[in-house]
Amino acid sequence: THFGFKQVDKNQKVNMVKDVFQSVAAKYDIMNDLMSLGIHRLWKRYTIDCSGVRAGHKVLDLAGGTGDLTAKFSRIVGESGQVILADINDAMLKVGRDKLRDKGIVGNVEYVQANAEELPFPDNTFDIITIAFGLRNVTDKDKALASMYRVLKPGGRLLVLEFSKPSNEILNKVYDTYSFHLLPKIGQLVANDADSYQYLAESIRMHPEQEVLKGMMENVGFEQTTYHNLTGGIVALHRGFKF
């Protein structure tokens, strides 16, 4: 089976995304390490380095899932700061909350079940918003970006870490083969769930490439937008400011 997103309507997409993450939540962390050979840790480290986070900051880790970024932010913002891990999926939120509590990360972290398209926060709330490997799952990306812009403080910045388009044709082919042939097999072996990883491959291929996403950010108001390719453009980190 495959999901063939082009043929499905919005509600169906919302439900599929829900099923996928409900289904992968328990195995999410180990699959991340396996599929990226651990490299996702470097991509996340780089995101923190580009975030300008300081003690006292208020950070939104949107589509935060199992909380890798939240854990790093929590240590930096300290007692005077706050990190909100928001995710649409209660299973992912629960795995994240349990993991962070086990690591002793408590006190300055809050967990909120929310849809990126309609963020339940007042205007001008956050110094930093990150959305890592989350935007491609969102149905209405323009609406979500506008919602992020609204809740960001003037002077604040958004970081979007997401799969993107490899800059080199050969890498593109190798990567396509990997994601459409190997990835669902790994998903089957490790998580007994080939479909979810087939979805992952399809959602990566359909996600707007570097320049397009940059334009989408500018359209909702972000300024000084830039992106940086990581691992040959397999992943890109986009950044934009609200002034």
- The annotation places the binding site for S-adenosyl-L-methionine at 66, 87, 115-116
CB of 172 to ligand SAM, least distance (A): 21
Q: What H or E segment, with its residue span, contains residue 152?
A: strand 152-163
Of 129 and 138, nearer to ligand SAM (C-beta) is 138
Q: What are the residues facing 60 on neighbouring strands?
A: 84, 129
The distance of closest approach from Cβ of residue 117 to ligand SAM in the complex, given in angstroms and rounded to an integer, is: 6
Pairing of strands 235-241, 223-230: antiparallel
Q: Which residues bind ligand SAM (CB under 6 A)?
A: 17, 21, 63-66, 68, 87-89, 92, 115-117, 132-134, 137-138
Burial of 121 (0-12, 13-18, 19+ CB in 10 A): middle
Cα 190 to the chain's mean position, in Å? 22
Give min distance, CB of 123 to ligand SAM, in A: 19
Report in angstroms how near the CB of residue 17 gets to ligand SAM at its nearest: 5
Comparing every residue's Cβ against ligand SAM, the nearest one is 65
State whether the Cα torsion 98-100-103-109 is positive or negative.
negative
